[in-house]
Copies of this chain bind each other. A is one copy, B any other.
Amino acid sequence: MAKEPGKSVILDAAEKVFALNGYAGSSMRMIANEAQVAQALIHYHFDTKDKLFEEVVARRSSSINSARKQSLDQLRADGRLDLEALLLAFFRPNLVLGHDTEKGGQFYARLIATTSSANDERSVYFTRKLYDPIARLYIEAIHEVLPGISDKDAVWGYLFLVGVSLTSMSKTGRAAGLSDGKCNEDDLEEILSRTVTFVAAGLRALEQTNV
Which residues of chain A have a CB within 8 Å of any CB of chain B?
A: 19-25, 110, 113-114, 116-120, 124, 127-128, 132, 135-136, 139, 151-153, 155-160, 162-168, 170, 172, 174-175, 177-179, 182-183, 190-191, 194-195, 197-206, 209
Give 11 pairs: A residue, B residue, CB < 8 Å, sorted on A: A21-B24, A22-B22, A24-B24, A114-B118, A114-B119, A119-B170, A132-B177, A152-B179, A157-B198, A160-B195, A163-B164
Known: A202-B202, A205-B201. A158 touches B170 (CB 8 A): no
Assess whether B198 is in contact with A202, with CB atoms less than 8 Å apart: yes
Apart from A155-B179, A156-B198, list 6 A-B contacts with CB within 8 A: A19-B119, A22-B25, A117-B170, A124-B172, A132-B178, A155-B182
Partner of A160, one of B128, B156, B177, B198: B198
Assess whether A164 is in contact with B170, with CB atoms less than 8 Å apart: no
Assess whether B21 is in contact with A120, with CB atoms less than 8 Å apart: yes
A170 vs B159: C-alpha distance when bound (angstroms): 11
Assess whether A191 is in contact with B117, with CB atoms less than 8 Å apart: no
Residues in B whose Cβ lies below 8 Å from that of A172: 119, 124
Assess whether A205 is in contact with B198, with CB atoms less than 8 Å apart: yes
| A176 nearest in chain B by CB position | B155
Assess whether A159 is in contact with B155, with CB atoms less than 8 Å apart: no
Assess whether B182 is in contact with A159, with CB atoms less than 8 Å apart: no
How far in angstroms is the closest Cβ of chain B from A195?
7
How far in angstroms is the closest Cβ of chain B from A158?
7
